[in-house]
Structure 1
């Protein structure tokens, strides 16, 4: 019996059907890498002509003057020699002097000198009167800070000045008159609440009243201009020491008078 004639399918050539398309991508990648390395190599090469030109220029410059080590004038020697050879030749104009200080800059400089003198006088006063335990002076970024302990200013829980505080405040007032600076007066307390019989509601009122008492002395008793002062009460929010100890609480009960580093308007 005759077998049916089956048509043979033609064999596919190798590479057809997309199986070898990755070779094209791979070839492109290799080509790009080659171009990249060629560019990098070209960029890394120095321009030898320009390098030689710069080198010759520097050598000519440094060889134009005599040796500095031999008490010479170095690279300025040539210009000086030409000047001596031909004194009538036009010379370069001298550099302009630095710009003069402004009026405000001069005022700040004068104020710094005044603050330095002020601090020296107060330190000497404290030393002569043996007040080191009650008055502390510090040169801080915001100004000259004078910390007065409350034990020679006020009785416990009160804001009326003791008679013994007058000499110190009078001395300060006499020095404030010559200063062109604002003065800040700040009252501080420890963290112990005021007593139930106190005239003040809390430590905020007490600290503010104490700062006001010092300010009133400068204005009413010493006749200073009130425009140069500012005051505030901070209660126990800015302690100088640990309130957990008696010594720390004593340091926190204070009035700080700061001569500020700022000019009056």
Structure 2
């Protein structure tokens, strides 16, 4: 009985906090795992290797060794890719990865900040809503201080518009993208680092219609958006 009791008795050195340390280690590993999944989403195998090597370096993991014990050459991730990943984390910290107003996604060459159309604009209009201005206020100073280039894309659904102000979705999508761009410029973003494009309904994120040609309202709603593509500066620009 005494031996059984000794087996069940907690260690005097570890005390009751030993399990907490183990749990903390596990949570840290899980966090690193999910950050890795986030970083390699929609990226090819080479990008996967680059990002995994970068994370290993950041966490202090030693370089892998070959069978003869020599250090294996590490494929270093480019500074541009590091900057993209850091920008995504910064934007996510400011506004969250996905809210009622926007969604943030990492691409191989940029960070996409997707501004949801129904939140940022009234139907058939290109003026920013008060809620949209509050959201932009959270990110505009960070973007303005960054060295990054931005392409502002306006996207519409496939529902035709024909008003005096907007004869088609080309004009509407361009006007909405321009409204966001003007707000960035008015708050310190450099006009040399921004481009505006109206895409109309040429690049839907989701099918506007089903196989029978019936509209899918929820998808049409998602396709109405303005996307900020945040790119690292070009090499020649960065040197200036």
Q: Taking structure 1 as the reference length, what is the TM-score of the superposition?
A: 0.54
For the aligned residues, what is the CA RMSD? Answer: 2.5
Offset, 1:199: 1.6
Q: Is 1:125 the counterpart of 2:127 in the alignment?
A: no
Equivalent of 1:242 in 204, 207, 212 = 207
Offset, 1:260: 1.5
Equivalent of 1:208 in 174, 177, 181 = 174
Alpha-carbon contact 2:84-2:111 (below 8 Å) kept? yes
Residues 67-82 of structure 1 correspond to what in structure 2 (within 5 A)? none
Report what 2:112 is aligned to: 145
| Whole-angstrom CA distance in 1 between matches of 2:112 and 2:157 | 19
Report what 2:84 is aligned to: 115
Alpha-carbon contact 1:157-1:198 (below 8 Å) kept? no
Alpha-carbon contact 1:114-1:179 (below 8 Å) kept? no
SS of equivalent residue, structure 2 residue 197: strand
Q: Is 1:227 the counterpart of 2:198 in the alignment?
A: no
Report what 2:61 is aligned to: none
Q: Which runs of 5+ in 1 are unaligned?
A: 1-73, 75-97, 99-104
| Whole-angstrom CA distance in 2 between matches of 1:263 and 1:141 | 15
Offset, 1:198: 4.9
Describe the shift of the 1:133–1:238 C-alpha distance in structure 2 as closer, same or farther (beyond 3 A).
same
| Whole-angstrom CA distance in 2 between matches of 1:113 and 1:202 | 40
Equivalent of 1:218 in 184, 190, 196 = 184
Offset, 1:125: 2.8
SS of equivalent residue, structure 2 residue 172: helix
Q: Which runs of 5+ in 2 are unaligned?
A: 1-67, 210-215
SS of equivalent residue, structure 1 residue 145: strand
Describe the shift of the 1:125–1:198 C-alpha distance in structure 2 as closer, same or farther (beyond 3 A).
farther
| Whole-angstrom CA distance in 1 between matches of 2:102 and 2:116 | 6
Structure with greater Cα Rg: 1
Deviations 1:151-205 (A, max 9, x none): 11110011011111112212222111332221110000000011x4452110000
Q: Is 1:163 the counterpart of 2:107 in the alignment?
A: no
Deviations 1:104-136 (A, max 9, x none): x99x51x43333222112223333xx9523311
Q: Is 1:186 the counterpart of 2:189 in the alignment?
A: no
| Whole-angstrom CA distance in 2 between matches of 1:259 and 1:171 | 16
SS of equivalent residue, structure 1 residue 215: helix
Q: Taking structure 2 as the reference length, what is the TM-score of the superposition?
A: 0.59
